[in-house]
């Protein structure tokens, strides 16, 4: 592994295995896959990690409800995540499970280090706990006595815990976030985190005496580590913390943690504070994306509107689903998705736009140039407008830019009417088609991180230098 290459470590949240994946959990995983592919295209040494979060009361309860042992249940659901990601063309370098022995061992080392830091103490906590959130919840946050997100009554807990002195990190976190030493984006999320910190941080409980499904504290085996503390550590354990020192040193700190906007307090406050306590570097950046709604409603099991990404992939293909989710909603914002919207983008942007351009150009090359485009000239590697937008996580904007080029090329064909021109000026038609082929090749290169299969198909046909009739990229769906 040449050390002079720039490294790029990107992560997604690890998903709870209480339920199978849905398009919300697919969102950051697709985005991370796109960025991993883009940075690889740019020649960087990329490590892309995703995985599943398998311990804690929430999972134990879900397993119990299914009449299964927690590990057996976690095995099943975790495999569903891995399968769904594979179907979506997502190729992580590591799929971590928090029940992996390597993770459990790394967490033990981390906990010992945390204890040795002197930042832990024993105390008593009394308060409300929402199992759905796996977090304490304040009385004031309840609506009609229940958690507004999970519609469940929180547990009242009064128990002995180990506490972490989060309070001590208030000043240093505020400073690092404020001056972008630790970057939080979009800006609205940064402001939100800053005002939360400025309102005053409280110490947090990092262990649970009554949760059996978890990793025991090495020095107090009656307690298990609070599932969030353990889950955050996946970002270190997955690249070899305490086991493969060379790999850990190569990739840590993370260049970017992609998370949903619901997870910023954990990733932007608790996580860097824990790392500072054990004297490790803190991540360079956290980017929080928005939430999908379906027909204006929150996605939830109780509303029965959960969409399984596999269903969409089976009908429209992986590339179309990747394209749709990143095109439809600007990455940092909330937005509405539905199958009708997916279908409209599929038939409009993909079949009529890109697909049509590809078949027109290749059909005419076959017809007017006998399929011969000679030694294909590829444009030199550069960061064009679209790739730069993707690089900055403005996926939607980048795609709009590419589709402007597609529309322009389709209009150029309409206007220049090669089917008439060929009768009088065949040389001009040849020049036009070669230019269009070069443009298509360039478009395929730009789109490769988002539409890997389609880009590959386009490139293969053009690179062959001898173009035969090829199947359409996207078959219209009625
Ligand atoms: N296990 C924790 C994360 C631990 S990370 C160290 C967790 N898991 S989760 O499965 O409940 O959700 C993970 C992520 O899924 C959310 O942060 C968010 O990125 C994504 N989404 C879940 N529902 C979503 C939508 N409706 N829309 C977009 N993304 C959503 O929290």
pLDDT tens, 43-52? 999 999 999 9
* pLDDT for residue 235 is more than 80: yes
Residue nearest to atom 12 of ligand 1 (CA): 15
Give yes or no for a contact between 255 and 183, defined as CB atoms under 8 angstroms apart: no
Confidence of residue 378 (pLDDT cuts 50, 70, 90): low
Per-residue pLDDT at 174: 98
CATH architecture of the region 338-463 = Orthogonal Bundle (1.10)
Angle, in degrees to the nearest 10, between helices 70-87 and 57-65: 100
Q: Is the pLDDT of residue 379 over 70?
A: no
Q: Separation of 71 CA from ligand 1 center, angstroms?
A: 21
Q: pLDDT band at 2, cuts 50/70/90?
A: low
Print burial letters for 346-382: b (CB count within 10 Å at least 16), e (below 16).
Answer: bbebbbebbbbbbbbbbebbbbbbeeebeeeeeeeee
Mutate to test the pocket of ligand 1, among 10, 24, 149, 261 (most ligand atoms within 8 A of CB): 24
Question: In this predicted structure, what is the pLDDT of residue 277?
Answer: 98
Of 330, 347, 334, 453, nearest to 400 (Cα)?
330
Total residues found in the chain within this entry? 478
Cα R_g (the chain), whole angstroms: 25
Is residue 105 pLDDT above 70, yes or no? yes
With the C-alpha atoms ordered 267, 88, 351, 24, is the resulting torsion angle positive or negative? negative
pLDDT band at 297 (very low <50, low <70, confident <90, very high): confident
Average pLDDT (149-154) is 88
- Report the relative pairing of strands 207-208 and 220-225 from DSSP bridges: antiparallel
Q: What is the DSSP string of 159-183?
A: EEEEEE-GGGGHHHHHHHHHTTSSE
Average pLDDT of span 316-326: 98
Bridge partners, 205 (sequence order): 163
> What share of the chain in percent tops pLDDT 90?
86
Pairing of strands 120-130, 135-137: antiparallel
Picking from 196-200, 288-292, 379-383, which range would have the lowest pLDDT averaged per residue? Answer: 379-383
Tell me what the mean pLDDT of segment 324-338 comes to.
97
Instruction: Tell me the best of 233, 260, 290 to mutate to test the pocket of ligand 1, counting ligand atoms within 8 Å of each CB and taking the most.
Output: 260
The pLDDT value recorded for residue 45 is: 98
Nearest residue to 373 via CA among 320, 431, 423: 431
Distance of CA 94 from the midpoint of ligand 1 (Å): 18
- Dihedral of CA 244/32/453/291: which sign? positive
Pick from 292, 295, 301, 270: which is nearest to 283 by CA? 270
Statement: residue 419 has pLDDT above 60: yes
325 pLDDT more than 60:
yes
Contact 110, 233 (CB under 8 A): yes
**Minimum-distance ligand 1 atom for the alpha carbon of 18:** 10
| Confidence label for 301 from pLDDT (cuts 50, 70 and 90) | confident
Which residue's CA is minimally distant from atom 23 of ligand 1? 24
Mean residue pLDDT across the chain:
95
Q: Which tokens in the block code for residue 179?
A: 């001056």
Report d(CA 130, CA 150) in Å as an integer. 8
Task: Give the span between the Cα atoms of 243 and 393, in whole angstroms.
Answer: 33
Q: Which of the two residues, 257 and 135, has the higher pLDDT score?
A: 257
Is the pLDDT at 340 greater than 90? The verdict is yes
CA distance 457 to 91: 18
Angle between helices 356-368 and 426-447 (to 10 degrees): 140
Q: For residue 145, give both structure tokens.
A: 């006595």
How remote is the CA of residue 221 from the centroid of ligand 1, in Å? 30
Assign 464 a pLDDT band (cuts: 50, 70, 90): confident
- pLDDT value for 376: 61
In the predicted model, is pLDDT for residue 420 greater than 90?
yes
- Cis peptide bond N-terminal to 91, omega within 30: no
Does the Cβ of 27 fall within 6 Å of ligand 1?
yes
Cα 375 to ligand 1 centre (Å)? 48
Pairing of strands 285-289, 256-260: parallel
Element (H, E) at 358: helix 356-368
Q: Within 13 Å of residue 70, how many CA atoms lie on the same side as its CB?
A: 16
- The H-or-E segment that residue 9 falls in is strand 7-16
Q: How confident is the model at residue 382 (pLDDT cuts 50, 70, 90)?
A: low
> Quick check: CB of 232 below 6 Å from ligand 1?
yes
From the CB of 294, is ligand 1 less than 6 Å away? no
For residue 1, is pLDDT > 60? Answer: no
Backbone angles phi, psi at 226, to 5 degrees: -55, 130
Q: Is the CB of 15 under 6 A from ligand 1?
A: yes
Q: What are phi and psi of 205, to 5 degrees?
A: -75, 130
| pLDDT for the residue 149 | 85
pTM score, whole prediction: 0.96
Residue 30 in contact with ligand 1 by CB distance below 6 A? no
Write the pLDDT tens digit of every residue in 66-96. Answer: 999 999 999 999 999 999 999 999 999 999 9
59 close to ligand 1 (CB < 6 Angstrom):
no
Nearest to residue 294, comparing CAs of 112, 23, 100?
A: 23
Question: Whose Cα sits closest to atom 13 in ligand 1?
Answer: 15
Residue 20 near ligand 1, beta carbon < 6 Å: no
Q: How far is CA 162 from CA 110, 114, 165, 223, in A?
A: 15, 11, 10, 9
Assess whether the C-beta atom of 439 lies below 6 angstroms from ligand 1: no
Q: What are the helix (H) ranges across 337-394?
A: 339-345, 356-368, 385-391
SS3 content of the chain, % helix, strand, coil (to 5): 50, 20, 30
Average the pLDDT over 167-177 and give the result: 98
* 272-282 average pLDDT score: 98
């Amino acid at each position: 592994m040449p050390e002079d290459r720039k490294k790029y470590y990107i992560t997604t949240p690890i998903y709870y295995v209480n339920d199978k994946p849905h398009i919300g959990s697919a969102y950051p995983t697709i985005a991370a896959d796109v960025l991993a592919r883009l940075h690889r295209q740019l020649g960087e040494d990329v490590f892309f990690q995703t995985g599943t979060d398998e311990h804690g009361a929430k999972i134990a309860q879900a397993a119990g409800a299914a009449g299964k042992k927690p590990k057996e249940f976690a095995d099943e659901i975790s495999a569903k995540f891995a399968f769904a990601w594979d179907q979506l063309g997502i190729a992580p370098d590591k799929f971590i499970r928090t029940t992996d022995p390597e993770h459990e061992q790394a967490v033990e080392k981390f906990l010992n280090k945390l204890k040795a830091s002197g930042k832990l103490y024993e105390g008593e906590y009394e308060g409300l706990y929402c199992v759905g959130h796996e977090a304490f919840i304040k009385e004031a946050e309840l609506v009609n006595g229940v958690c507004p997100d999970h519609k469940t009554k929180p547990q009242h807990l009064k128990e002995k815990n180990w506490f972490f002195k989060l309070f001590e990190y208030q000043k240093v976190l505020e400073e690092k976030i404020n001056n972008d030493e630790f970057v939080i984006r979009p800006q609205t999320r940064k402001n939100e985190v800053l005002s939360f910190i400025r309102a005053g941080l409280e110490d947090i409980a990092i262990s649970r005496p009554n949760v059996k499904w978890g990793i025991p504290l090495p020095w107090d085996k009656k307690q298990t580590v609070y599932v969030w503390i353990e889950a955050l550590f996946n970002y270190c354990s997955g690249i070899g913390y305490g086991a493969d020192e060379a790999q850990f040193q190569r990739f840590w700190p993370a260049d970017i943690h992609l998370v949903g906007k619901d997870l910023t307090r954990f990733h932007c406050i608790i996580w860097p504070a824990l790392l500072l306590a054990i004297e490790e570097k803190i991540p360079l950046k956290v980017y929080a994306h928005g939430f999908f709604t379906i027909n204006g409603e929150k996605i939830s099991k109780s509303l029965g509107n959960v969409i399984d990404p596999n269903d969409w992939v089976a009908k429209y293909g992986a590339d179309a689903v990747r394209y749709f989710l990143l095109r439809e909603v600007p990455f940092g914002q909330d937005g509405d998705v539905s199958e009708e919207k997916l279908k409209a983008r599929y038939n409009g942007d993909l079949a009529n736009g890109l697909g049509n351009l590809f078949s027109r150009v290749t059909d005419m090359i076959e017809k007017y140039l006998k399929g011969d485009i000679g030694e294909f000239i590829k444009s030199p590697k550069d960061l064009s407008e679209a790739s730069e937008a993707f690089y900055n996580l403005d996926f939607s904007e980048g795609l709009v830019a590419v589709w402007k080029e597609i529309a322009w090329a389709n209009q150029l064909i309409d206007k220049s009417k090669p089917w008439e021109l060929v009768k009088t000026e065949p040389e001009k038609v040849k020049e036009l088609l070669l230019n269009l082929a070069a443009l298509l090749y360039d478009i395929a290169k730009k789109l490769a991180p988002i539409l890997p299969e389609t880009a590959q198909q386009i490139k293969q046909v053009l690179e062959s230098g001898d173009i035969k009739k090829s199947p359409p990229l996207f078959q219209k769906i009625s």
